[in-house]
Amino acid sequence: MKLRQYQEIIALATPIIALQLAQVALTSTDLLMLGLISVQAIAAGGLALVLYNQVRTMCVGMVTGLGNLVAAAVGKGETRTGNTNFDEAAIDEVQGLIRAGLLLATITGIIAIVFITILTNFLSFFGQSEIITTLAKPIMIALAPGLLPMLWLNVLRQFAVGMRRAGSLLIVTLVSVALNALLDLAFIYGWLGLPRLGLVGIGLATTIVNFFIFFVYLRTIMLDQILNKLISLNLFKAKRETVLHLTKMGTPISLTYGSEAAITSIATIFMGTFGPIALAASNIVNQLAYIVYQLNIGLSHGSSILVSRAIGKGEENKISGIALRSFTISFTIMAIIAAFYIIVPDLILLPFLGGDKADTAVLAVATSLLWFAIAHQYFKGSQNILIGLLRGLGNTKAGFTTTIIGYWIVGIPAMGVFGYWLTWESYGIWFGLCIGFAVTSMLLAWCFTGLLKSRYQ
C-alpha cells in the first residue's frame, strides 16, 4: 500500500518535472552555448537569464492555483456521483477555469513583456559594468515574447495535472532541447542560412522553442480522450468572477514565487559587483541548482494536487502521509545529486565552460560554490514543497509572509554582511542566500504543521 502511495506522488510529479525541465533545459542550453562565445557572454547572458526567470516565475505563479481548483472540482464531482466519474456541474466548472486561466495568462504575459523591455534600460543602475549591460539587453528583449506560449502551456499543464492526466513529456523535452541547441548554434555561427545574431539569436531560439512546446502539448491534450472533452480554449468567454477568483488566488502565489526568485536575482546582481569571473561562476552554479529545483517543483505540485483532492473527498487524514512521502523522495534524490557535486565537480562544471580548463579562475570559484549549492537545494526545495502543501490546504498567503521575513529581513541583509562587511565576497553572498532559504523553510514548516493540527487533527 505504501509503495503505491509513493507511486501516486511520483506519477503526478514526473510529468510536471519533465515539463519544468523542458523550460529550464532551454535556459541551461543557452548558458552552455554562451560558453562558446566568451566569459563576458556567460556573465551577461547569465544575468539576462536570471532576470528573465525572475519574471517568468512570477507569471507562472499567477496561474498555478488553477490545478488545485480543477482537482477540487473533480474531487467534489466524484463525491457527488459516488465513483471516479464526475457530473455536468464539474465539467462546467473545469471548462470555466480553463478559459479564465488562459485569459489571465495572456494579460499577465503582455504585462511581463512590456516590463522586461523597460527593465533592459535600467541594467546599468544595478552596478554592472557597461559591457555586461550592453550584452545582456538584446538577449532579454529576444527572450520576452516567449513568455506568452510558456504561460499558455502552464495553464494546460495545470488543467492536465488537476485531472491527474499530465502524461509523459520525455520525448517533447528531448526534442525541444535538441531544437534549442541547434537553433542556438545556427544563430551563433550562421548555419542553415540563418543570420549570425550572437546573444540575440540565443534568446530568439528559446522563444521559438517555447511556441513549439506549447503547440506540441496542446496536441497531446487534444488527443487525450478524456481531456479533449473538457478543454475549452475560448478565453473571451471567460467569466469575470472566475478570472478575479483565480487572480486573487494567484497573486500571493506570484508574489511568493517572485520574492523567492528576487533573492536569487539580487544575489546575482551582488555577484556582478565582484567582476565577470565571480558572476560567471555564480551563474553556472545557480543554473545547476535551478535544474535540481525543478524536481521539488514537481513534487510540490503533485503533493499539492493530492492534498486538494483529499480535502475535496473528505480524506483529510491522508495529508500528513502525502507530505512525508514527498520529502522522502526529494531528500533521497538530492542526496544522490550532492554526491556527484562532491565527487566529480569538473565533470559537471566544464560543459558550461566549453569543456576548456583554461578558465581556471571561473572553475575554481564555481567548484567552491557547489558546496553552497548543496545546502541551497535542500533549503529551497523544502520550502517549495511546503508552499505546495499549504496551497493544497487553501493557504496561499503564508508563503509570501514567510518569504518577506526569510528573504528580505534575514537573507538579503545576511548577504550584505557576509559578502561586503566581512569581505567574504562571492562566498559570503551564497552563504547569506542559504541562510535566507533556511529561515524561510523553518517558518513554512511551522505554518504547515500548525495549520494541519488546528484544522484536521
Provide the residue count of the chain: 457
* Residue 43 buriedness (CB in 10 A; 0-12 / 13-18 / 19+): buried
> Cβ(20)–Cβ(177) under 8 Å?
no
pLDDT of residue 50: 76
pLDDT of residue 374: 92
pLDDT of residue 396: 74
CA-CA distance, 48 to 343, in Å (whole number)? 31
pLDDT of residue 355: 53
- Among 50, 68, 30, CA closest to 199: 30
CA-CA distance, 352 to 355, in Å (whole number)? 7
CA-CA distance, 394 to 3, in Å (whole number)? 27
CA-CA distance, 164 to 175, in Å (whole number)? 24
pLDDT of residue 166: 64
pLDDT of residue 354: 61
Domain, as residue range, for 430: 2-456
CA atoms within 13 A on the CB side of 156: 25
Q: Please give the tally of structural domains in the chain.
A: 1
pLDDT of residue 43: 75
What the block records as the C-alpha cell of 180 is 534549442
SS (H, E, C) the chain: CHHHHHHHHHHHHHHHHHHHHHHHHHHHHHHHHHCCCCHHHHHHHHHHHHHHHHHHHHHHHHHHHHHHHHHHHHHHHHHHHCCCCCCHHHHHHHHHHHHHHHHHHHHHHHHHHHHHHHHHHHHHHHCCCHHHHHHHHHHHHHHHHHHHHHHHHHHHHHHHHHCCCCCCCHHHHHHHHHHHHHHHHHHHHCHHHCCCCCHHHHHHHHHHHHHHHHHHHHHHHHHCCCHHHCCCCCHHHCCHHHHHHHHHHHHHHHHHHHHHHHHHHHHHHHHHCCCHHHHHHHHHHHHHHHHHHHHHHHHHHHHHHHHHHHHHCCCHHHHHHHHHHHHHHHHHHHHHHHHHHHHCHHHHHHHHHCCCCCCHHHHHHHHHHHHHHHHHHHHHHHHHHHHHHHHHCCCCCHHHHHHHHHHHHHHHHHHHHHHHHCCCHHHHHHHHHHHHHHHHHHHHHHHHHHHHHHHHC
pLDDT of residue 86: 65
Read off the pTM.
Answer: 0.72
> Cβ(206)–Cβ(52) under 8 Å?
no
pLDDT of residue 244: 92
CA-CA distance, 172 to 146, in Å (whole number)? 17
CA-CA distance, 233 to 96, in Å (whole number)? 10
Mutual orientation of helices 276-312 and 319-343 as an angle, nearest 10°?
Answer: 160
* 168-to-70, 149, 457 alpha-carbon distances in Å: 20, 19, 36
Per-residue pLDDT of the chain (457 residues; tens, 9 = 90+): 467 777 777 777 777 777 677 667 676 777 777 766 777 777 777 778 778 878 888 898 899 888 878 877 777 776 666 555 666 777 788 888 899 999 999 999 999 999 998 888 877 776 667 777 777 888 888 899 999 999 998 898 888 877 777 665 666 777 777 888 888 888 888 887 878 887 788 888 889 988 988 998 888 888 888 888 788 888 888 889 989 989 988 888 888 777 777 888 788 888 888 888 888 888 888 878 878 888 888 888 788 878 877 777 777 778 888 888 899 999 999 999 999 999 998 888 887 776 555 468 888 888 999 999 999 999 999 998 998 888 888 787 777 788 889 999 999 999 999 999 998 988 999 999 999 999 999 999 998 888 887 765 5
